[in-house]
Structure 1
């Protein structure tokens, strides 16, 4: 299974300005379309993520510099006009058949976050009015089931263990595009992972118990 979202990696952390034009050339070679997102390869919570709206070498260099504060390896990704739908996967014990929750969606309050805002660090943690979580996501059940199927396939392909949150895009025409696998998802009471399981019938405390027992009993 392959990640379908169009992206490439650049080890550009120490040559920001000089490398920007080279990255722009690669963007054009790969035929990536704007907006682009520049992000650290190995980070979370939207740390170091910048949205690039148009071809701009200086903005790209600044974005690479910001991302490199969190990881020397930087990703440049094409933005996708789609909804991001998240699915929690659980296989608490070694060898256990993984299970997928009902998929959920973080819905941005456009009036609070701005029409062109993406789900950045401030939206996630600093402004409680910027977004809310909906589980199940407001999609046809057939689409939700395909998201679950995609999440399970990705988890198995990655030889997942314990827990993961698998994020996919759902386009306007109903296509499900695998985006990424989060092997250590947020786990606070307000995070998507436990909220998705609560909506599927497993409480926060029971979820923690399952994970602890999975380690102790194996």
Structure 2
């Protein structure tokens, strides 16, 4: 009997287009002899649109952007019966796969909805998603776990508005130039700026606050960018490390998704013992914020072999041939199709475990 798999994608986020690309890749990788695929497209305005069951691969993401006639409420989309390709009524989904990046999807909001509805889903839970999305909270937790990081400070918009001069001076006193300023709750390098002087710093604050009410400023460091994939629940496995070699000053959104002017080296060429350190630190980060399913852990490696954890991404991009996470696992011996199926299995495993919890005396 086929598993009924519901995919959530799009979303009210600056990473909306990235989510569509991930959805297309996942759909085309799924074995239709094993899965019935039910798509739910969330528009940039947050409207839910439930499309018909998919009968085959998708050639273009426009085929997934359903019109107003498919509009439903979130509750209707997730729980109501729907018509299959044979026009027979189907039961509820066996599992939900949120393919949402950024706020309103990767930050614990959708995960909270699914928890309240007691629906099994793929990926990280509410706590890990929220902590992983908020870079300030994440870094504070990593600090408590003893994971080395570059210096950082953060500000909320109201504090910056009240005394912008004090904010700039704190950055210059605590961080020094060059530094990077970014929205605390966003991914894919959206809203990030490299600052080498006061003028660029002021402009960076303005840019970052367009995307979030909280920003983080991090010390720039001359280092290689190394990433590790983590897969599992209580006993996660780590991929081989991979390296991002950007052709620009930093790996921004345009470099990732538009120009393609960056190189991924997998496995990364590393000094002896460093790969093991990176994998152990990835596991520590995964367990520190109570992750489940998947994570991509990002690091800086200096010429002196000093390692700093930069962040974890709790729903990394998963396009088959251009995203680091699936490529890391492909080079570790897990094909893209196997990876997607494994993530579904992990989601079901975690849901079954949660059903053992007693909620009454």
Q: Shorter chain as normaliser: what TM range?
A: 0.7 to 0.9
What SS does the aligned partner of 1:202 have?
A: coil
Q: Could you list the runs of 5+ residues in structure 2 that have no partner in the other structure? A: 1-144, 353-361
What is aligned with 1:108? 246
Is the Cα–Cα contact under 8 Å of residues 19 and 61 in structure 1 kept in the other structure?
no
Pair 1:88 & 2:218 matched: no
Q: Using the TM superposition, give the Cα deviation of residue 15 of structure 1 relative to its aligned residue in structure 2, in angstroms.
A: 4.7
What is aligned with 1:185? 316
Pair 1:21 & 2:187 matched: no
Q: Using the TM superposition, give the Cα deviation of residue 61 of structure 1 relative to its aligned residue in structure 2, in angstroms.
A: 2.4
Is the Cα–Cα contact under 8 Å of residues 89 and 151 in structure 1 kept in the other structure?
yes
What is aligned with 1:36? 179
Structure 1 range deviating more: 194-203 or 208-217: 208-217
Summarize the alignment of residues 1-218 of structure 1 with structure 2, pairs less than 5 Å apart: 1-3=145-147, 4-12=149-157, 15=160, 19-30=163-174, 32-54=175-197, 56=198, 58-91=199-232, 94-95=233-234, 97-109=235-247, 113=248, 117-128=249-260, 130-189=261-320, 190-217=322-349, 218=352
Question: 1:186–1:118: structure 2 CA closer, same or farther, 3 Å change rule?
Answer: same
Larger radius of gyration: 2
Query: Equivalents in 2 of 1:146, 1:213: separation in Å?
Result: 28
Per-residue Cα deviation, 1:132-190 (whole angstroms, up to 9, x for no partner): 21111121241111111111111112211111111111110112111211111111111
Query: Equivalents in 2 of 1:19, 1:192: separation in Å?
Result: 40
Query: Equivalents in 2 of 1:28, 1:191: separation in Å?
Result: 35
CA RMSD of aligned residues (A): 1.8
Give the TM-score taking structure 1 as reference length: 0.87
Aligned residues: 204
Q: Using the TM superposition, give the Cα deviation of residue 22 of structure 1 relative to its aligned residue in structure 2, in angstroms.
A: 1.2
Query: Equivalents in 2 of 1:6, 1:104: separation in Å?
Result: 24
What SS does the aligned partner of 2:300 have?
A: strand
What SS does the aligned partner of 2:221 have?
A: coil
Is the Cα–Cα contact under 8 Å of residues 13 and 64 in structure 1 kept in the other structure?
no
What SS does the aligned partner of 2:200 have?
A: helix
Query: Equivalents in 1 of 2:294, 2:153: separation in Å?
Result: 26
Q: Could you list the runs of 5+ residues in structure 1 that have no partner in the other structure? A: none
What SS does the aligned partner of 2:157 have?
A: coil
Per-residue Cα deviation, 1:73-93 (whole angstroms, up to 9, x for no partner): 0111111111111000011xx
What SS does the aligned partner of 1:200 have?
A: coil
